[in-house]
Homo-oligomer: A and B are copies of this chain.
């Protein structure tokens, strides 16, 4: 029943030449007669030959596989970055192995062991939320596996990174709210051991300082920034005797939670309270009012991460020097933060 797979050998036999000749012909080796190449390609076609990538990988030491680690594949931002990465590396002949850490360090470690065993040619990763030790990523470096971080990166780790300028995104967003006349701007913040959340908080503070608005600790609420956290944060803020007139959220999901509570309490957005999110998830434009958000150009981030990886692989062991790319965020202003 099971058809035997056609191999290089079969082509060689059929043409009465050696496997090496076939191999060279197929890979379009420069000094190989066009005649042989044509004959080999024709025969390969005829026999429906499919090169065995596994064998090639073993011999050449290149698996043409790139591991991608995200916390969860179904978070819109990550799914877009994944899309971008796959598009880019695929054009260069690489395939993507997709893995999910669920923000668990244990899983992150397991994944890296698996990827190492699979001999991927490189790893592109966004850190898990709880990842504060990096021994497993050090292992990749030790084994000389190219590594690129995106979005949730480790500072000064000696690898290429791509992130959005979170500081600037936050600074601009809060600046915009101040321009709209807001004076008491709350911030739903992420955990501060993550660079990106730290930077957004810094941008928030800097924007206030620029306008001589005093920083008030009671207006900062830290959480995981899921929708539910947004709801809870908003409820907490509503209990203050002096309510905020705007809320800058470090995540669109949290922003939706805030909007929901606002609706449930008949608080008019944007008139009584403005809302600003982060990431520009597609759904922010579907809502009414649409939620203003900081666009992170997620697909471009994916493309960039892919390109950094390809460059890294190419220069491996030669003149590699990491590049740290910071994408410029842009504000997408919608009805939640502006009276049109």
Contact = CB atoms under 8 A, between A and B. Distances in A.
Interface of A: 1-3, 5, 50-55, 57-58, 63-65, 68, 72-76, 79-80, 82-83, 86-87, 90, 95-100, 113-114, 116-119, 142-144, 256, 259-260, 263, 282-283, 286-288, 299, 317
A73 B63 contact: no
B95 A114 contact: yes
B86 A98 contact: yes
A52 B3 contact: no
Nearest to A113: B50
A287 B259 CA distance: 10
Instruction: Give the copy number.
Output: 2
Contacts of A299: 74
A229 to B, nearest CB: 15
Contact of A87 (B100, B118, B143, B283): B100
6 contacts: A2-B144, A3-B143, A53-B119, A90-B99, A98-B98, A287-B287
Contacts of A118: 53-54, 64-65, 95
A31 to B, nearest CB: 25
Contacts of A64: 118
B286 A263 contact: no
Contact of A50 (B90, B117, B256, B260): B117
Contacts of A75: 79
B50 A54 contact: no
A253 to B, nearest CB: 9
A286 B288 contact: no
B100 A86 contact: yes
Contacts of A63: 54
Nearest to A82: B73
Contact of A288 (B57, B113, B263): B263
